[in-house]
Amino acid sequence: MTSSTPDPFTDRFYDIPPLENDGSNFRAWKFRISTVLELRDLMGIVDGSVKCPDPIFDKNSNIVTNQVDIDAWAHNDREAKAQIILSLEDEPLRGILHTTTASDAWDKLNERYEGKGLHTIVHLIQEIFHASFSDEMPMAPQLYEVRYKAHILKTLGEPISDAVIAYAMLLALPGSYSALRTFLSSSLATSGDSSLSTDTVITQVLNMERTVKLDSSQAKGKCASRSNAGVAQKELKCHYCEKKGHMKSECKKSKADQAVGDGR
């Protein structure tokens, strides 16, 4: 158990975007607050894995011999609860006003905004395997959303293997990524490797997205250059015939007049 002496680093509070009244940003909020709590070594208290020590009494004096450890746990529990409370807007806050520990507050927030039970599990599974990505949006948030839903399933006691989630990502890719989907599937079959990771899929998809954007940008640049060259050509003016679109060296009239003159 850590000492109850305040530490200038671990005892400071982190300012993160608050959990909004309608809970619409709960997933992002939970990720941020969990990161902060883990950094401050408070997540064990919040998730209930670190319990308050039971008092140990001295047989002779009946004095609690581990009071320092109990006080340290109580201090950390207050720190954890304060970190959570300070990152809530009024409506989420009202839902945990009656709680007495950080763990109790955490559970109430999860039950309200994330949900537990069969209905939530079925809903998440449907969203994962019915996902359909769009070319109109960046690929990264769409891929990460599927992986986050898999993480929620794991916390609810219904984990799905990383390889299965990776295949769900491949199936969700738009038609423009069909070649990549075929490549990843066939390469695994050829190598005899039955596993595929979400990290591999995400890396390959994002690499292809960057390549497509770069090629598109270069193609637009070439079109613009050709267009600019055409505009510049039209703006040229021949000093011989006074017409636009060419120079004297390209002037048909100039060449014809010169030929007539040379034939005299």
Instruction: Encode pLDDT of 182-241 as tens digits.
Output: 888 877 655 555 578 999 999 999 999 998 888 666 656 555 555 555 545 555 667 777
- Which residue shows structure tokens 């720190």? 79
**Is 81 within 8 Å of 64 (Cβ atoms)?**
no
Question: Over the stretch 112-147, which tens digit does the pLDDT of each residue have?
Answer: 887 666 777 888 899 999 999 998 899 999 999 999
DSSP state of 13: P
Q: How many Cβ atoms from other residues are within 10 Å of residue 168's Cβ?
A: 22
Alpha-carbon span 50 to 28, nearest angstrom: 25
Question: Over the stretch 78-100, which tens digit does the pLDDT of each residue have?
Answer: 999 999 999 999 999 999 999 99
Question: Over the stretch 67-81, which tens digit does the pLDDT of each residue have?
Answer: 999 999 999 999 999
Predicted pLDDT at 1: 40
Report the Cα–Cα distance between both ends of the chain, in Å, rounded.
112
Alpha-carbon span 148 to 91, nearest angstrom: 25
Between 17 and 191, the higher pLDDT residue: 17
Q: Where are the domains of the chain?
A: 26-113, 118-214
Q: At 88, give phi and psi (nearest 5°).
A: -120, 145
Question: Over the stretch 43-52, which tens digit does the pLDDT of each residue have?
Answer: 999 999 999 9
**Is 168 within 8 Å of 131 (Cβ atoms)?**
yes
Q: Provide the whole-model pTM.
A: 0.52
Burial of 25 (0-12, 13-18, 19+ CB in 10 A): middle
